Structures are given as structure tokens and as C-alpha cells.
Structure 1
Amino acid sequence: MKQMIIHGGKPLKGDVWIGGAKNSTVALIPASILSRTPVTLEGVPRIADVDNLMDLLSEMDVKCDFQETTLKINPEDIHMSPLPAGKIKSLRASYYFMGALLGRFGKAVVGFPGGDDIGPRPIDQHIKGFEALGATVKNQNDQIIITAPTEGLKGAVIDLAMPSVGATINIMLAAVTAKGQTIINNAAKEPEIIDLATFLNNMGAVVRGTGTETIRIEGVARLESKAPHTIIPDRIEAGTYIALAATVGNGIRIHNIIEEHLDSYLAKVEEMGVVTKVDEDSLYVYPAGDLKMVQVRTDPYPGFATDLQQPMTPLLLSAKSGEGIISDTIYPKRVGHIPELQKMGADIQAEDNFILIHPTAELKGAHVSAGEIRAGACLMIAGLMAKGETVISNAGNILRGYDRVEEKIKKLGGDISVIDAN
């Protein structure tokens, strides 16, 4: 168990560099087992989820070497192995091993996925996709057993009921080695899916249409990695530091961003009155003046990302007037941060799937708990804003999703430390 201890009220200033996208990384690592040759990923974030995924790879005798931000994965001696439920439950994205193992071996035995508690996130769309490709799916002893027919998976037309990122990725991983063409309709459009397709195509896959609602995949017999793949910047980490800069910053430049990935978020931040200047691959956030409340509605990409509604909440609390409203259409039960913010004096409530936010002149340090990654980021920003000491328990959740976060905030001048809890 980790605790994050923050002494707030100090203005932050300087430069921060964004790491590789967590939501790409957690798909690319399972995807690496589809290669028959060693894989090199560059720009890999230093986050706990990467360590957990490497542990799962070791269960299959896949060798990993992680130095600085370069992860080398050698799947040449891989063997099919059931993945234990205990480790699978540590992060939800481990379910990408379903599609990757199915594509590589024609079979996957995986414990039921865990991850953040942010409301129901069923995997029925994933299962529907596997079954459309010809696989049989069974639940047995708290495990999901997925088996391809003797003749192998066959391409199919798959209509997703909603543009699920997880289902889109898992179907892609299974379909790249299936016979014939697979079409995914109503596919998710997130940049991380494009990043995965780039990785797969560079290994010999034929994936077209990512970034649109229709993805077409022509199955191939074999994938081989021929060159390193550089992971795209993490747009959620970038958005989190933009919120931090706008609340406690005295001029912060955020490096390694792709502006278009942040369009919806920046539109809301600028509507509040935050002033930014965008250069080729960086963004400068000026010290904020009087900010106004806005209404936020999360939607699938290119809409406002659900993963940014919590990190943006402290910024809304710093507005001078009006009432802010957040409507999370993706995970309406993603409200675990609200009672924790109330402990710090925030004027905020959850009512009928809406979050209602009122200006709060001052937050006070308190003992709070990070129930999941983005709630933890929200509380971290609130702690940097607050007067006095904030202690965040379950801070390991923050470390799961934010690259070298303690080091980065200290370099900006923040009084922050992460310790092992007693």
C-alpha cells in the first residue's frame, strides 16, 4: 500500500514532459505476443500497469527488458499458459490477452478482469466479437475459456452495440491472423486504436480504417516485428497536467503532446478562461485569472474523454462564479472522488447521474483515498491546491496510470512524496 503526502498551496512553475500513452501501452504489450520475433517499444511510461503486464508475460516465458523508456519483449519461447485470476484482477486492460492469445494460439484461458471500480463495464461485446469469428466462449471456475475451431478463426462482419475501445482492440488482436476479412462496424475511434493498428501493420498485419467507425482487417498467417515502435503521447496525462497548471501553475510548459488529441478538452478549458499557447509539440499554460464555470459532457472520442472529467474537477472548483455540471455518459457512476473532495471542503455533489460543482474559495488538506486512477489524479491536484497537508491512501492507483508522477511534480516545485503505508 502506498500513500501520497502533499503539502499544498505552493505555486508550480517550469516544464513537464508527457510519457507514452497508458491506454496504448496496455494494448501494445499483449499485442507483442502476436509477433514471432522480438519487439521493441519506445516511449513506454514508467507505471505500475506496465510492471503488472510484464509479470503476466513472464507466466508464458516471454522475456522482457525494460530500460529507461524502452521495453524489449522477446516472445520467441512463448508457451500457452492460463493466466492467473489474481494478477488479471490487478488491472482491467489485462483482458487484451484474450484477443492476443486467441490470435496466437487459437485458445485463451484468462481470469475475469479487474481494474478500477467505476461502474459496470461488461465484456459482452468482446465475447460477441470472438464468437462471430468462430470461437467458443465458456465461463468456468472464475475463468473465461475461449477456443477457436480446429480450422481456425474466420473473418466476419461484427456490429458493435456501442463504440467500445476494449472490444474494438480485442477483436482486432484476434482478427489479424484470422482467415479472410473482418469488418468492425461502430468501432471506437480513439488515437490509441490507431497507434495499435500502426504497430500491427508494421509487423505485417493489414488493418485499415482506424479512426473511423468502420475498421477492415485482412487476416495474415504470420506477424514479425522489424523495427521499434514509438508510443503516442498520453493525452490523459497531458490533460491532467493542463488542469494542474491552470489551478496551481505560475506558468507551466507541457511537452510531448499531440494537440488534436486534446481538442475537446482544450475547448472546455479555454471556455473557462484558461489561456494557453500551443507550439509544434508543446503547450504553455499561463497563470490563470478569474475563471468561469462550464458544463461538461463526456462522449466517445473525439468527444470529451471520460478519463478527464475527474482531473478537471478541481479546476472547476477554482472558478469564481456559476454552477458547473458534469454529465459522464460513459461511466455515470464515476463519482467516487466526490465524497473525498467534500472532506477537503469542496462544494460538490452527485445527483441523478450529474455532478454539480460550485465555486470553492479554499480547499483544506485532509486524509482521502484514491479509489481508482483518475480519482487519484483529481485528489492529487486538489491536494496541491489545498491549504495544509493532504494524505492520499491507495496512492498505488495513481502510480498505475501516471508516469514518474512524484518526480515530475517535484521538478515543478511541488511538495509531494510517495511512501509505503504502515
Structure 2
Amino acid sequence: MSVIEVQGLTPLEGEIKIQGSKNAVLPMMAAAILHKGTTVIENVPRIQDVFCMLGILDSIGCKCRLEGNRLKIDASVVTETEIPKEFVKSMRSSIIVSGPLLGRMKRAVTSFPGGCSIGERPIDLHLTALDALGARVEEDGEELLVTANELTGADIYFPFPSVGATENALMAAVLADGVTVIHGAAREPEIEELCLFLIGMGARIHGVGSSTLVIEGVLSLHDSIFTVTGDRIVAGTYLCAVMAAEGCVTLTGIRPSHMEAVLRCAEEMGAAIRRYDDLISVTMTGRPADYSVVTGPYPQFPTDLQSPMMAVMAAAEGTGRMEETVFEGRFGTVKELQKLGADIIIEDNRAEIRGLYPLTGAVVRARDLRGGAALVVAGLASRGVTQITDCSHIERGYEDICRDLKSLGAVIRGME
């Protein structure tokens, strides 16, 4: 699917079961390398990033089988320690394979991820963490060779709660000799999920959900089965869709407690939200009110939902403000929103959004994963047809955004 067409101004009604979490399942797939046996993961989303990670696992010798949303990984034999460049270039998060490869094989070869449309995303924190555990890092052009005779528990200090670096350090420490303490660890729900996944394999991890993780190294892991929770970013995107289009929608298969910053924001803007154990209902009548949002590490407002929420603000009443503190390139979608008539002024890492409803359909381009989803949200609040090109970005994180929104009554279709 390379193009999505949206006919706006149709309220949404119905229920969606949210797909499994992309940001949780990718490190779990990488962590399966640590075990010389079989790992089964349930509720795996069928998205491009998952298929890319499957390619990496296959390339190093793992036997993977994805049937529906059930993934079986047999990592009994790992024959290679090099992550092919094509996978690194197409998915920056492939760097998280380095930690488990190093933990099991004491060697990992990868390359610098290269540019990213939403920011630089340096990997220095990853390398610093692996170095603290006893790894040696050698650079040869674009190639990185990480080796260790033995990994030894250590104190690791992060000046910023990097999700990827926390995951890499955590996975490398599981089979290290001794105790590792990660100070300043990221607290995102996906880190908690990874910890629970590893504990289910036999790892010893304390402080789950906190900024201090204590990992007692073990000699080996065992077979396990784990079910991934629903994707809070996908749920947040569909929440934004309801706010943009109006209507009443139930989102199931999620943990509302993991979305509290987003839900509070939506309520302040006028959405009526009811929380249950594993679902939320969202009702939006009339236009959203203006609001100010500042992104930040969990439990603050997630940067991954900055673009979709900005699309809502563009079709709200009054003047809203957005401050981006995580990725300097997240405002790249603003130029596309402006083609729809959005009144947005950017100054450094801040945006002032003067609400205008309805927006006007136009041809726009998805510049990145979440920015593409934001344009779909904006299209729902636009008069006429919005045509979004380069939609392969969206397929990296959403199983089928057209299917889901169409089931709620949206007039939307995907085309090649």
C-alpha cells in the first residue's frame, strides 16, 4: 500500500481490538537469541518492522515461524553474529540485537544506523553500556565490531533514559557474570514488558517499572510463552482519530494505566473517556479545545503521539501549543499539515497551532511512521479527499490502519 485516500467529516462509531505492541515485541524477538531453545510470543503484530526483525533472526541462524499472530522462534543454533547492513538501514532499532548477540556469542557485528527523519538518535549510550559490561568496541568505517571474552556485571549510569540503550544493557546483562545495576533506566511500559518476558525465560530482574534495574546474571534460560499487550501508540492514534472526526469508539486489548498522560490530555481537550481494566471508551462531541503539550520520557506525553495530537490541534478550537523535547526532527510533518490548511508556526522545538475546522483535503506525503498516521488523522477532519503518498512508512507500525478505521465508519481506502 503506497497511497491512502481519506474522505473526511464522517464521525466514527464502533470497537477496535488494538494490535500487539511494536515497541514491546521487537526487543522480545531480539531477546530470544539469548536462549538456546524455543520461545513463543503471542499477539505479534503483522507489521513491516516485525518482518524486518524476522529477517535478522533468520540471517543469523534462528528458525522462525509466524502463524497468524503467533510467533515461534527456535534459537537452538546461531551461526552468524553479523547483522546485515540492509536491515540496519531499514530499521534503526535493529541495534538492539547487539546486546543479546554479545550476551550469547560474545560477538556482534553491526553498522551505524545512518540518518533518521525524526532526529539523530545517537547510539553512544548503547556502546557505553556494553563497554561497562566488559565489551570492546571497534569501528571500521561504517562497521561496528563489539566483542568480549566475558561479560561481567557492572553499574551502568544513563544521563538520559534511553529506551533502546536500556533494552540493550538489560539483555546483555542477563547472561553476564555477577550483578548489573542500571541507573537512570527508561521506564516505558515496553521496558517493563521486556523485563517480564525475560523473567518468564528464567532471568532474575528486580526493580521492574522503576528507573533502577538490578539484573542477577544466570547461566542459561528456558523455553517460554509470552503474550504481548496492546500497542499504546496505536491506541493513542485511534484516540486522536476519534477526537478529529468526533464519535464514540471503544478500544480494547490495552492497559489504560500505560496511557495516562495521553488520556488526561484528551480529557482536557473535551473527550469523554471511560477507563476499564483492558479497554477504554472514547466519546467526542464538538471540536476539541486548545491545550498545551510537552513531550518527554515516560510517564510524560509520548513523542510518538506528538504528530497525531498536533493533527487534532490543527482542527481544534483556539490556539494550542506543542513542545518537543525528545526528537528534534518530529516537526517534519508540519509542512504536510500546512498543505491541508493547518495554521502552525514553528520556533525552535515549539509549535503554536491555531485551530481551523474543517481542514481542506489535499495531496500530502508521509515522511515517517507516526507523521504518516497523523496525516490520516488530519484527513478525517478535512473537507473533501486527502491523498497520502509514501504510506509504506505507516505499515512499519500499523497492521492495517485503513481496515481499522473503515470498521469504525471512516471513508478510507489504501491503493498501490
- Compute the TM-score of the two structures, normalised by the length of structure 1: 0.96
- Counterpart of 1:139 in structure 2 is 139
- Counterpart of 1:346 in structure 2 is 342
- In structure 1, distance between residues paired with 2:276 and 2:246: 19
- Counterpart of 1:156 in structure 2 is 154
- Counterpart of 2:395 in structure 1 is 399
Matching of residue 283 in structure 1 with residue 280 in structure 2: yes
Contact 1:91-1:116 at 8 Å conserved across structures = no
Contact 1:116-1:373 at 8 Å conserved across structures = no
User: 1:167 corresponds to which letter in structure 2?
Assistant: A
- Tell me how far 1:81 sits from its aligned partner: 3.4
| 2:359 partner SS | coil
**1:316-395 equivalent positions in 2, closer than 5 A:** 316-321=313-318, 323-395=319-391
| 1:122 partner SS | coil
- In structure 2, distance between residues paired with 1:145 and 1:301: 31
More displaced, 382-391 or 207-216? 382-391
- Counterpart of 2:17 in structure 1 is 17
2:164 to 161, 166, 187: 166
2:200 to 195, 199, 202: 202
- Tell me how far 1:109 sits from its aligned partner: 0.3
- Counterpart of 1:218 in structure 2 is 216
Pick closer, same or farther for the CA change 1:371–1:404 going to 2, 3 Å. Answer: same
- In structure 2, distance between residues paired with 1:280 and 1:133: 39
| 1:335 partner SS | helix
- In structure 1, distance between residues paired with 2:237 and 2:77: 39
- In structure 1, distance between residues paired with 2:53 and 2:212: 29
- In structure 1, distance between residues paired with 2:71 and 2:258: 24
Deviations 1:64-103 (A, max 9, x none): 1111211111111221231111121111111111101101
- In structure 2, distance between residues paired with 1:385 and 1:291: 11
- In structure 1, distance between residues paired with 2:148 and 2:7: 55
- In structure 2, distance between residues paired with 1:8 and 1:409: 12
- Counterpart of 1:292 in structure 2 is 289
Aligned CA-pair RMSD:
1.4
| 1:162 partner SS | coil
**1:81-92 equivalent positions in 2, closer than 5 A:** 81-92=81-92
- Tell me how far 1:353 sits from its aligned partner: 1.2
- In structure 2, distance between residues paired with 1:46 and 1:271: 34
- Tell me how far 1:327 sits from its aligned partner: 0.7
- Tell me how far 1:116 sits from its aligned partner: 4.3
User: 1:378 corresponds to which letter in structure 2?
Assistant: A
Contact 1:373-1:397 at 8 Å conserved across structures = yes
1:244 to 235, 241, 257: 241
Matching of residue 231 in structure 1 with residue 228 in structure 2: yes
Deviations 1:1-44 (A, max 9, x none): 72222222222211111111111011111111111111110011
- Counterpart of 1:2 in structure 2 is 2
- Counterpart of 1:301 in structure 2 is 298
Contact 2:357-2:382 at 8 Å conserved across structures = no
User: 1:163 corresponds to which letter in structure 2?
Assistant: P
- Compute the TM-score of the two structures, normalised by the length of structure 2: 0.97
- In structure 2, distance between residues paired with 1:104 and 1:173: 10
Contact 1:274-1:289 at 8 Å conserved across structures = no
- Counterpart of 1:128 in structure 2 is 128
- In structure 2, distance between residues paired with 1:370 and 1:231: 28
User: 1:133 corresponds to which letter in structure 2?
Assistant: L
Structure 2 residues not aligned, in runs of 5+: none
- Tell me how far 1:114 sits from its aligned partner: 4.9
Pick closer, same or farther for the CA change 1:120–1:252 going to 2, 3 Å. Answer: same
Identity of aligned residues (%): 39
- In structure 2, distance between residues paired with 1:290 and 1:231: 34
Contact 2:61-2:80 at 8 Å conserved across structures = no
- Counterpart of 2:258 in structure 1 is 261
4+ residue runs of structure 1 moved beyond 6 angstroms? none
Contact 2:81-2:107 at 8 Å conserved across structures = no
2:190 to 189, 192, 215: 192
| 1:289 partner SS | coil
User: 2:60 corresponds to which letter in structure 1?
Assistant: M
- Counterpart of 2:117 in structure 1 is 117
Deviations 1:126-162 (A, max 9, x none): 110011111000111311110012xx11111011111
Matching of residue 413 in structure 1 with residue 389 in structure 2: no
Contact 1:2-1:396 at 8 Å conserved across structures = yes
Contact 1:91-1:114 at 8 Å conserved across structures = no
